[in-house]
Every structure is written in structure tokens, then in C-alpha cells.
Amino acid sequence: MLTQAPKGTKDVIPSEVYKWHFVEGIIREICAFNGYREIRTPSFEHTELFERGVGETTDVVQKEMYTFNDKAGRSITLKPEGTATAVRAFIENGIFNDAQPTKMFYFTPCFRYEQPQSGRLREHHQFGIEAFGSSDPSIDAEVINIAMTLYKRLGISNIELRINSIGCPSCRKEYNAKLKEYLKPKLTSLCETCKGRYEKNPLRIIDCKEEKCKAQITDVPFMIDNLCKECSDHFFDFKRALDTLELEYKIDPRIVRGLDYYTKTAFEIVTDTIGAQGTVCGGGRYDGLVADCGGPSTPGVGFGLGLERLLLVAESNNVQLPKPAYMDIYIANMGAAAGEVALKLVNALRGQGIKADKDYMGRSLKAQMKYANKISARFVVVLGDEEISTGSIKVKNMSDGSEASISIDELAGFIKSK
């Protein structure tokens, strides 16, 4: 136990972290180009936020949250998703008073007490986007375009964008009545969970994976065919905006999303290459959420994108994530006097913006060379009694083996010029 990470958690070790740095770098760049700025928020919130925001009937809230009382007896929950927290911060900091829209992104850990499997952890990390203040369908498309641009930039191709509209409170209410009427005679043949869903959230029955439920609802009416004028206009313009951005999509009337806050646009980006958990990005519009959480009525749209899954898809696509050479120069040193000079030299080089390292293991020269090679140092300088007394050194270029003789004072300039 002592030396084992808790179930469903993973270390990113130094030799692997470059992958994360690379994708995070691309994400920051894309966000900057699209006008999204980073927001950093706590890893835990008051439990009520998620109960209210995510929805009390959802699986996430009912059985997956890490909830505990702190020492003062407050009920605290480790965030299971990012949107509720972003909404809370938007309200609490009065960001709605600024010029709208508010476009922000974040990286956040998310915690859900689930059975781990491929592409699913108890702690995973999401890149999220939230755009508040605009109900313009083009911003729905923009948000999706950010995710699609990311996949494209990474060279991920075997993914599919699926969209749907799940209406607004007014047309959903009418639709729910219609749906319940349709389901009523079939109720006894549905699975137990769907019987429960019938009253609380009948929309979810459409998404049930049980064969017996699927068989019952082959001709079920879909939300998308029962939208009110406003919602269907929004969906129409949303599709046009996707076309304008040249994003391919498939309309999937069964997308309902497992979080209660969605209205109008709902979408998923899926792949079939990383196992059963193929949803690689999910999101949509949530026009009622800010008001539900106690803020001024404000529309919003966003998504969550799992970084662990992103790396899995990248791997399944054989995407080569560039591994940077992490050391500019290695100082091979021999003898006590050289050790001291090397320490000083390395420190001076670092101060001038050069990644420099030296021997700490008392290794032979040959072993130091091997080590320099292993850490893919670009240059090596051998420092011994002779170099110290003359002040003249040879800089070896490790990629072609060539050596240049320079004075020790010229070293920093030499490295920088290469």
C-alpha cells in the first residue's frame, strides 16, 4: 500500500512528461488564437455546487463523487467535472459585469469513484472550454472547432463529431410529455434503471444500452424532431456554422449527455480506437446553468476533453510526439579540481540561459560520455587539469562527433550560436 498509488490514479514520470507538455503547449496556442484565456480554480468545491449544477439525478452525483466532511463539518466534493466550477467562478468574481462574451479555458483534475478501465481513471485530467454570455450558434461551432483543431494539429484523424439538439426547458417539457406517453405502455418491459428514469429524466431512456430497452423504443420520437422554433432555428444556424468552418459532423439523435445542465446543442467527439470508452470530448450548451447556480441569466457553451484519452488516441494513431533534447551541454569532469570548476561553469552557463549539467556520480570519463549520450546532450566539454591550466577547451558536438577548440570564456557564446 505504502508504495502503491491509489486505485485509478496514474503517475506521469519524468521520461513521459514531454507528451503532456507538448499537447498542453498546442492547446494553449489554439486557445490564444481563439481568444480564450486560462482560468485556474480549486480542485474541490462545496458539494451543493455539483448537486445543483450537474444535477441530482445524474450518475455522477448519485454514485461517483468523492465527498467528505472537512474538519469544520462542511460537505466538500473533489470536482467530478469542470463546468460547474467555472460557472461558480464566473458568478463569484462578477465576470458577467465585463464585456461579453467571456471565453476561458482550463486544465483541471477530475475525480470520479468508478471502476477503472481502459481510458477511465478515478482521477483524470481535462482540458475544458467555456464561453459565457452569447447564445449565437456560431460560438457553439467555434468551441467545437477548438477541439477539432487540436485533433488536427496532433495528426489524429479517426474521430467523428456527433451532434444533436436536446431543446430548451419549454420544448423539452412538451417533448417529455410526448415521450412518456409513448413509453407508458412499454414501461413494464423496460430495465429497472429506465423505470426509475421514466419520472425523473425520461430523455435518458433513449440512450439506454440495455437490449430489451433498445428493442422497445425502435420508433421512439426524438427530441430533435420536436424542437420549438427558437431551438430548431438555433440548431439550423449551428449546422451552417459548422459547414462554414468545414467541420464534418453526423447528427445523432440519441446523444443526451449524462449531465443535466445541457440545453440545445449537445455533442460528442468519438473514436473506436481506444477501447470501449470512445468519447474523447463531450460538451454542449447550458443556457440555464448560470441562473440555476444563482447568477444572472447568462447563456453558455463548452466542452470537456480528457487528456489521458487524448494521449491514447494519439498513440492509436501512431502520432509521434516530439521528445525535446533536454540538455544543451554536459561537462565531463575528471579530478577534484575539475569538479569544482565544473560546478562553477555549469552554474554560470545556466545563468545565461543554457541547459547545462555535469557529473555527480564520480564516473569514469567513458561512462560520463555514455551518460551524456543517454541524456541526449547536444555538446560535451571534457574538463581536466590541462584545460583548467590553459583555459582552452574542446567542445564536442555529439550529433556529428566534431570538436571545436575555444577558450573557456567563449563557451556560452559558442553554445548559443549553435
Considering only residues 189-248, where is the footprint of RNA by CB under 7 A?
193, 204, 207-210
**Which of 96, 258, 319, 348 is in the footprint of RNA by CB under 7 A?**
258
What is the closest distance, in whole angstroms, from the C-beta atom of residue 310 to RNA in the complex?
8
Binding status of residue 61 toward RNA by CB under 7 A? no
Q: What are phi and psi of 98, to 5 degrees?
A: -75, 170
Residues 333-352 that bind RNA (CB under 7 A): 334
Candidate segments 219-227, 228-236, 344-352, 382-390, binder of RNA by CB under 7 A: 382-390
| Cα gap 262→251, rounded to integer Å | 17
Binding mask 4-43 toward RNA (x if CB under 7 A, else -) reads xxxxx-----------------------------------
- Nearest Cα neighbor of 222 from 285, 166, 181, 183 is 166
Residues 71-90 that bind RNA (CB under 7 A): 81
Size of the site for RNA (CB under 7 A): 72
Q: What are phi and psi of 75, to 5 degrees?
A: -85, 120
Residues 119-158 that bind RNA (CB under 7 A): 119-121, 124, 126
What is the closest distance, in whole angstroms, from the C-beta atom of residue 381 to RNA in the complex?
8
What is the closest distance, in whole angstroms, from the C-beta atom of residue 394 to RNA in the complex?
5
- Nearest Cα neighbor of 165 from 252, 258, 66 is 252
- Nearest Cα neighbor of 325 from 378, 267, 256 is 378
**Which of 293, 331, 380, 411 is in the footprint of RNA by CB under 7 A?**
380
| Cα gap 147→144, rounded to integer Å | 5
Residue with cell 449546422: 239
Q: Which is nearer to RNA, 100 or 120 (CB)?
A: 120
- Nearest Cα neighbor of 260 from 202, 318, 181, 317 is 202
**DSSP class per residue in 339-380:** HHHHHHHHHHHHHTT--EEE--S---HHHHHHHHHHTTEEEE
| Cα gap 218→208, rounded to integer Å | 12
Tally helices (H) and strands (E) across the chain: 15, 16
Q: Which is nearer to RNA, 188 or 389 (CB)?
A: 389
Candidate segments 21-29, 40-48, 245-253, 356-364, binder of RNA by CB under 7 A: 356-364
Tell whether omega for the bond before 101 is within 30 degrees of 0, i.e. cis: yes
For residues 2, 7, 13, 19, the Cα torsion angle rounded to the nearest 10 degrees is -170
Residues 266-325 that bind RNA (CB under 7 A): 268, 275-282, 304-306, 308-309
Residues 359-378 that bind RNA (CB under 7 A): 361, 363-367, 369-374
Candidate segments 29-37, 286-294, 314-322, 384-392, binder of RNA by CB under 7 A: 384-392
What is the closest distance, in whole angstroms, from the C-beta atom of residue 71 to RNA in the complex?
26
What is the closest distance, in whole angstroms, from the C-beta atom of residue 46 to RNA in the complex?
20
**Which of 14, 169, 185, 401 is in the footprint of RNA by CB under 7 A?**
401
Contact indicator for 223, 166 with CB cutoff of 8 Å? yes
What is the closest distance, in whole angstroms, from the C-beta atom of residue 396 to RNA in the complex?
5
